[in-house]
Structure 1
Amino acid sequence: MSAAPARLRRRLAVVAVWAVTVLVAGCVSIPTAGPVAEGDGTVDEPGSVFPLAYSPPTDASPTAIVQGFLSASAAGLGDSYAVARQYLTAPARTSWAPGEGVAVYSTAENLEFDDSRDSQVSVTFPMVATLDADGRYAESPPNAEQDAVFDLVQDAQGQWRITALDNGVLLSQPIFDSVYRATPLYFLGPTADVLVPEVRWFPERNTATYAVRALLQGPSPWLRDAVRTAFPEGTALALESVPVGADGTATVDLSAAVAAAGTDDRALMKAQLAEVLELPGIRDVAVSIAGLPMVEPEPAELRRDPSPGTVARMIRDGQVLQLDGDEPTFAADVAPLAVPDPHGLAWARDGGPTVLLSGADTLVLAPAPGGAPRALVQGPALVAPSVDPASWVWTGPSQSAGRLTAVQVDGPVVDVGAEWLDGRVVRSLRVSRDGARVAIVSAGPDGVTVDVAGVVRDGSGTPQRLTERMRVGARLLTATQVAWLDESTLAVLGTSGTMTGPTVHLVPTAGPTRPLPAIDGAVSLAAGRGERALYVATDAGVLLTLRGTSWVEVVTGVQSPAFPG
């Protein structure tokens, strides 16, 4: 008996096609018929808990074979998929590459298997996210589903086996969360003293090896032109692993391509490796080149996740207040604004500019004591500004023509190319505190999206263009404003699920979106570092902050709260 190869169909135009492995839950049970089999009980470091894998029962039905394969595949990181391959025909065992990607599905509803067709079993999965072969995480939009169709054949002994399948695996969200780890890779920012993260997800087992390999391969295309790495092109691991000794020392043996690197670059390489290998069980990093210990350079002094400080500013009755704790005071370096309809405040620390919008069409430099406000940019329906670490002030027309505007107080006004924004309506933008990335909320034919892009600068640090976008927060239904909560997490004001009004959502650059408690009338937000430094302003002028699981009032009569940035 023969059958066509297994097929996968994705709904909602989900492009990637995956093989399916799942921990069967609810009404879908792990097979209970057949002999007792020995499971893989390997114990890894804390967090690496694998389900048991069972060999195929004799004379199992096609449905039982598919169920067993899915359960065994969920345990695959613990046994290198040895048991899962027992459910496949001989050619499929050889050709299947489970490491090519992961699709993560929800267990909120029970799975149902359809075996109404001869030699075929199908199942639909509610999707949470996908992970590519290099660990790049992409959240799935609401109601996304993946259909999997398994075709089976009987072997010479009359036993059903899966005849073909695509590369990759599918895991339930609880299993994924227990066997994968979010791991930031660190690259060098627009100034040589700051590190920029790109978060990937790797298996808990051998995370160090996966992470260093990915670091040496370099950043993803969306970030590549905005950062650099100290590792020379072609650098690889001389040995295909990063062993961790009993004393917690991770040994990174690099290929001979590193031998020509100078002392400064070696210090930067060591710093990148040390940050990436801040993992459980690792206390030190030893670097060698083709088996010979690298001469230890003087440590490079690099900043990671620059602090925005603890002071937030806001507007009240035409003046700028600042808040450090619960007691607001007037900002000593800013005079009364003396402009019509002031809103959209942004500012920089350490003597940098304080700027805002006056009406819809004018970007204004706030006046110093004894001075007057000064128009910096005029244009139709400008986006509320953001100030980057080099004191470039970013704005641009909401109706984008594929570019943004950046200006320095006593410098030029430059157009920043952003081709993917052409024809979109920009609602909010915020440059990251490392200056290498920008988060943008915009609306277009594909609806409202939250995207992160790299900022490409010239040798003087002047912004030139944005890279391609990376979508985040795909679970959001609407979004109006974005801010950076830390180096790899955004705070986004919007809606998701069944909520009727906006609230703050925590949106990782690579991870699942999480809503915070609901807020009545939320219209703007400010984010310092971490959830304890979140402020939300309501349409009634009330400023709220998060205390535990509740929003509490801080001050009234204010608008446009902002931390530096």
Structure 2
Amino acid sequence: MGTERRRGGRWRAPRTAVLLGCAGLLLAGCASMPDSGDVEAVEASPRGDSQVRVYGMAPRKGAQPNEIVEGFLEAMTGDDPQFATARKYLTKKASKNWNPTQVTVLDNGPVPQDQRANDREGGAYTYALTGTKIAEVNEQRAYQPVNSSYHETLHLSRQNGPDGKEWRIDGLPQGLVLGESDFERIYHSVNKYYFASGTSSERTGAAHPWLVADPVYVRKRMDPQTQMDQVTQTVEALLSGPTNWLKPVVGSSFPTGTALKLEDGAKSLAFDDRNALKVPLNEKASNVGQKRCREMAAQLLFTLRDLTSYRVGQVELQRSDGSTLCVLGGDQAEDFAPERASGSPDYQYFLDTKQRLVRMVGSTENTGADEEAEPVPGPLGSGERRLSSVAVARNERYAAGVSHDARSLYVASVVSGSEPREPVLTSSAKQEKDRLSAPSWDGRGDLWVADRDPRQPRLLRLAGGEGKPDEVTVVDGLDGARIEALKVSADGVRIALLVSQDGRTTLKLGRIERRGPEDKPEVSVTDLRPIAPQMEEVTAVSWAGRSRLVVVGRESGGVQQLRYLQTDGSTSDAQSVPGANRVTAVASADDNRLPLLAHSLEDGIVRLPPGANWKTVVSEGSSPVYPG
């Protein structure tokens, strides 16, 4: 550990890794056994909680400016409480003003460039920090992808110290500046859960409102600022409320001001031997009723389940006096499951060579390539309507199909035969590429489609999949681009859009806001944000669970790739997807045990079961979809 090593374009100062505890490694202070005293019960650490801590090295006496800069950049990647080591490289004033809450992520780490020629005569040094910025993490722990150059400075001056004049940093950017590899080593993505607005049982038929995932990043090990472990950080993040982007369309059942009430200086929550977690809350939550308390517990359970190292059996919420407020077990929480709007679909769907809607059994046990597809009942499967794209309602009772010339949109039953209906929507655009996009259903039973007519481009919604389409206003972020394709989330509060402008198609995520009466709301899509700014071109997208998308695209100068992205645009916890040949469409189910579907120009309809390779289903076909 005492040797320097090259990484991320700069020399890295040595740092020390410490394993706290005595399991597997005996360190100073752990190697001796007491020979007297009472026997005491020792509370085990939760399984999967890494006890490794990484500490930077303090500046040596007489360290030169380049050593100070390198040591500080390295110390920012450490775990020491309050970043004490990193602060030793700063002046007292700079340390007081430095807030390491926010994080800037660079692709290969900050590269310091010595600019001392400009100010050597004044007894000061300036170093430029440069790189390519790929993300920012704000004080709410929310990740925001970017693609821009980074240029900040570190300013050093000589300070009086106990050993004489020493170089220290007196000017620096706020927050941590980390390379992508360090960020992925230190932080972990976790979904917080809040309830979607406007999902009452009267509107959706559900017994409970739907939970919506709100991804944030917490530290994998102890947080230097709060000394909280990963579980406690996550609970605290949930109690602090939804991130600003999602906040207008969700709500929390925790009363405003609810916080943890840890006793006797404790910094972390603890699981018992039954994997149950007791969560003590302050007085703000002491008087809530049982129904609301169960909703609070459901938010906690689903949030903690995303910490895959932990197996949460039940959650017990406690009042400020330590008494039990309510208890919710894992099986009881299923009533609140975010994916219950679609569940595990019965079938997988695509268009055959006759441009009919056909289906195959979608069981998780049946993921091979030997099933035969059968036409769905009704006009969309009979061949009376030749189709170019389709979407199946999440209850699998209805489907929507766009005609082969992209001019007309039809909605029909897929569980029983019926007479062909008149189109529910017709585009007046002259060219096929300017007419209707592929449709998409949300979990509320509403149908979405884009009319790409250059004379009157519109985003449209059909409440319940029928009646007159309502135009949806798109606010903040479209900036003259045209919607080419769309996919709405099951919860109905987020929409993924492929938008084209200046010959480039990119991916953006929008927030769906509903105002006014619940039975006839005014609906808008607002605050569009780029999800894959590093991708030069995005070809296709599908929802792949609560907060994940599967995307087909390519980076500048690169080849086509399939990639999973979080809805915040991050990729650090995403699994890789084997490439397929010339993919034009992709479909994923909320149930991750089901295979990925795709259309390949070379191989036809292909399927990727978990842990396997792509398999051809049929050599000819198009528009593969799961319900949604």
Please indicate the TM-score interval, normalised by the length of the shorter structure: 0.7 to 0.9
- Offset, 1:562: 0.8
The SS at the match of 1:65 is helix
Deviation digits for residues 336-361 of structure 1 (CA, Å, limit 9, x no counterpart): 45566511110124453111111222
Trace 1:478-557 onto structure 2 (pairs within 5 A): 478-500=537-559, 502-510=560-568, 511-512=570-571, 516-528=577-589, 529-530=591-592, 533-539=595-601, 542-546=604-608, 548=611, 550-557=613-620
User: 334-343 vs 415-424, which deviates more?
Assistant: 334-343
**Corresponding residue of 1:267:** 294
State the match for 1:397 in structure 2: 451
Output the amino acid matched with 1:386: S
Give the equivalent residue in structure 1 for 2:389: 344
1:157-236 to 2 correspondences below 5 Å: 157-189=164-196, 190-191=199-200, 192-204=208-220, 205=222, 206-236=229-259
CA distance, structure 2, for counterparts of residue 186 and residue 394 of structure 1? 25
Distance in 1 between residues matched to 2:126 and 2:557, nearest whole Å = 36
* Alignment pair present for 1:416 and 2:483: no
Is residue 429–residue 441 contact of structure 1 (8 Å, CA) maintained in 2? yes
Determine which of 68, 74, 83 is the counterpart of 2:77. Answer: 74
* CA displacement at 1:48 relative to structure 2: 6.0
Offset at 1:504? Answer: 2.4
Q: Does 1:92 pair with 2:99?
A: no
Shift in Å at residue 184 of structure 1?
A: 0.7
Given that 2:377 and 2:417 are in contact with CA atoms closer than 8 Å, whether structure 1 keeps it comes out as yes
Distance 2:159 2:112 in 1: 26
Distance 1:371 1:48, change over 3 A: farther
85 and 422 in structure 1: CA distance in 2 versus 1, 3 angstrom threshold: closer
How many residues align structurally? 532
Q: Which residue in the other structure is 1:35 paired with? A: none
Please identify, of 290-299 and 146-155, the stretch whose mean Cα deviation from structure 2 is larger.
290-299
For each residue in 1:228-268, what CA deviation from the matched residue of structure 2 results, as whole angstroms up to 9, or x when unmatched?
Answer: 22122332334495522564554322232223422211110
- Comparing 287-296 with 315-324, greater Cα deviation is found at 287-296
- C-alpha distance in structure 2 between counterparts of 1:153 and 1:73, whole Å: 20
Q: State the partner residue of 2:336.
A: 302
Distance verdict in 2 for CA 1:134–1:370, change over 3 Å: closer
Amino acid corresponding to residue 605 of structure 2 in structure 1: L
Q: 1:490 to 1:463 in 2, by over 3 A?
A: farther
Alpha-carbon distance in structure 2 between the residues aligned to 1:237 and 1:402: 47
The structural deviation recorded for 1:373 is 3.8
- Partners of 2:138 and 2:110 in 1: CA distance: 26
Matching residue of 2:408: 362
Shift in CA distance, 347/512, structure 1 to aligned 2, threshold 3 Å: same
Q: Of 237, 243, 247, which residue of structure 1 is paired with 2:269?
A: 243
Point out the more displaced range, 510-519 or 553-562: 510-519
Separation in 2, partners of 1:363, 1:236? 50
Letter of the aligned partner of 1:71 in structure 2? E
1:370-421 C-alpha deviation (Å, 9 max, x unpaired): 5214301123412210012232111122257574333434444322232234
> Separation in 2 of the partners of 1:412 and 1:462?
14
Q: 1:63 to 1:246 in 2, by over 3 A?
A: farther
Match of 1:313 among 349, 367, 370: 349
> CA distance change for structure 1 residues 130 and 26 in 2, over 3 Å: closer, same or farther?
closer
Residue by residue over 1:520-562, the C-alpha shift from the partner in whole angstroms, topping out at 9 and shown as x without a partner, is: 3322222123385211113357112235574332212211111
The yes-or-no answer on 1:43 pairing with 2:20 is: yes
Contact 2:318 2:326 in 1 (8 A): no
Counterpart check, 1:328 vs 2:331: no
- CA distance in structure 1 between the aligned counterparts of 2:480 and 2:524, rounded to whole angstroms: 17
Q: 1:287 to 1:507 in 2, by over 3 A?
A: same
Matched, 1:53 2:41: no
Counterpart contact for 2:446–2:461, Cα < 8 Å: no
Q: Deviations over 1:191-241 (max 9, x none)?
A: 434321111001122223322232223222332232222122332334495
Alignment partners' CA distance in 2, 1:148 and 1:289: 47
Q: Which residue of structure 1 lines up, in the alignment, with residue 627 of structure 2? A: 564
Paired residue type of 1:466: V
For 1:546 and 1:351, how far apart are their aligned partners in 2?
22
Look up the equivalent residue of 1:199 and give its one-letter code: P
Could you tell me how far 1:483 is from its partner in structure 2?
A: 0.8
SS at match of 2:57: coil
Q: Which residue pairs with 2:424 in the alignment?
A: 376
Please give the alpha-carbon distance, in whole angstroms, between the structure 1 residues aligned to 2:468 and 2:475: 22
Which amino acid in structure 2 is aligned with residue 397 of structure 1? D
Judged with a 3 Å threshold, the aligned counterparts in structure 2 of structure 1 residues 93 and 371 are, in CA distance, closer, same or farther, namely same
User: In structure 1, the residue corresponding to 2:136 is in which secondary structure?
Assistant: strand
Q: CA deviation at 1:288?
A: 1.6
Q: Distance in 2 between matches of 1:70 and 1:112?
A: 9
Larger RCO (CA within 8 A; separation ≥ 6): 1
Distance 2:289 2:116 in 1: 66
SS of the residue corresponding to residue 438 of structure 2 reads coil
Give the alignment's TM-score, normalised by structure 2: 0.77
Task: Give the Cα separation in 1 of the matches to 2:542 and 2:296.
Answer: 30
Residue identity in the other structure for 1:257: K
Where does the alignment leave 5 or more consecutive residues of structure 2 unmatched?
22-47, 201-207, 223-228, 362-366, 430-434
Are 1:541 and 1:558, in contact at CA under 8 Å, matched by a contact in 2?
no
- Flag the 1:532–1:499 CA change in 2: closer, same or farther, 3 A: farther
CA contact (8 A) 2:512 2:525 kept: yes
Please tell me whether residue 464 in structure 1 is matched to residue 523 in structure 2: yes
Q: More displaced, 319-328 or 82-91? A: 319-328
User: Would you say the 8 A contact 1:403–1:422 is kept in 2?
Assistant: no
Q: Which secondary structure state, in structure 1, belongs to the residue aligned with residue 249 of structure 2?
A: coil
Judge conservation of contact 1:63–1:113 (CA < 8 Å) in 2. Answer: no
Cα distance in 1 between the residues matched to 2:6 and 2:130:
12
Distance 1:346 1:541, change over 3 A: farther
Give, in whole Å, the separation in 1 of the partners of 2:6 and 2:561. 34
**2:41 maps to which residue?**
none
Amino acid at match of 1:390: R
SS at match of 2:18: coil
Residues 480 and 67 (structure 1 numbering): CA distance in 2 closer, same or farther, change over 3 Å? same
CA contact 2:437–2:449 (8 Å) conserved in 1: yes
3-state SS of 2:236 partner:
helix
Moved more, 414-423 or 445-454: 445-454
DSSP 3-state at the match of 1:201: strand
CA contact under 8 A between 1:212 and 1:273: conserved in structure 2?
yes
Specify the code of the residue in structure 1 equivalent to 2:70: Q
Aligned-partner SS, 1:265: helix
Counterpart for residue 138 of structure 2: 132
Alignment TM-score, normalising by the size of structure 1: 0.85
Identity of aligned residues (%): 22
Q: Is the 8 A contact 1:226 1:437 kept in 2?
A: no
Distance of 2:418 and 2:458 partners within structure 1:
39
